[in-house]
Amino acid sequence: MIAEKSRAIVIRTVPFGETSSVVSLFCREFGKVRALAKGAWRPKSSFDGGLDLLSTCQVLVLRKTSGGLDLLTEAFLENRFRVGGSYRAFLGGMHVAELLEALTADADPQPELFDRAHATLRELSGLDEPADRIPALLVSAELAFLRLTGHAPALAVCAECRVPLTSHSRTPFGMLDGGCLCGRCRAGKRAVVSISVDGLAVLRLLAVQPDAWRDVALPAAVAGELRAIMTTYLSHLLGRPPRVARLLQPRMAPRQARTE
């Protein structure tokens, strides 16, 4: 059995015995893997800090052809996720790791998804407050993750009949239907919220321009609205509320995202 090399993001670690760890990695070359790192926490191991949560590293993995854990033999740290002065930035990094875990299947390579996740973690690493661009950055990353995994919400056309949407003061967004709805298709639907003109405009911008978040300083009301919509959409998609996303929601929930 030959060890395979890959770049990887550490998305989860669980202690195993006194010195070992079971590690979940999202690898650029061969997707999500779960591997046993024997002796990972010994003073002189072949991992040398490469298994810190949210870090990017070069790994060597012995991949099992049958069931069971792969075996991680080496990890060389490439970029460590630094916790700066922004708690929101740290939560954002944990949210990225949770989405990589929840939205992907084992051993399914998605290089573009890896690159976007890696770039997002690099932006969040070491940030200090005020970090006003974090809400837009996370929504942009979420929309990219959803697109790359085949779950992108419909924003410009009706998710049901595919008719282009016309401008209204508020637009229905069907959580179970996969995005925005026209007035005709909205009738009789459940789990529908309404999104403001400003909120929908930001979603559309972030969905088509990956770097637009750098120039978008969201008003508090719009940031809260988009956070509520994305968290609710992910909850319906995953079948459970994302654990970290709820912590990113502002304390004062705005009225813009309301269930109809």
28-87 confidence digits (pLDDT tens): 999 999 999 999 888 878 887 789 999 999 999 998 877 789 999 999 999 999 999 999
Which percentage of the chain shows pLDDT scores above 70?
A: 96
| Cα 74 to Cα 59, 61, 71, 218, distances in angstroms | 6, 7, 9, 42
Give the model's pLDDT for residue 172.
96
Domains parsed from the chain with CATH numbers: 4-79 (2.40.50.140), 132-259 (1.20.1440)
Q: Report how many helices (DSSP H) and strands (DSSP E) the chain contains, helices first.
A: 7, 9
Choose among 103, 110, 102, 95: nearest CA to 6. 110
Which residues, 6+ apart, have CB-to-CB distance to 260 below 8 Å? 172, 192, 193, 194
Is residue 257 scored above 60 in pLDDT?
A: no
The mean pLDDT of the chain is 92
- Please report which helix (H) or strand (E) contains residue 8, including its range: strand 4-16
Is residue 1 scored above 90 in pLDDT?
A: no
pLDDT band at 251 (very low <50, low <70, confident <90, very high): low
164-208 confidence digits (pLDDT tens): 998 778 999 999 999 999 999 999 999 999 999 999 999 999 999
Give the model's pLDDT for residue 45.
81
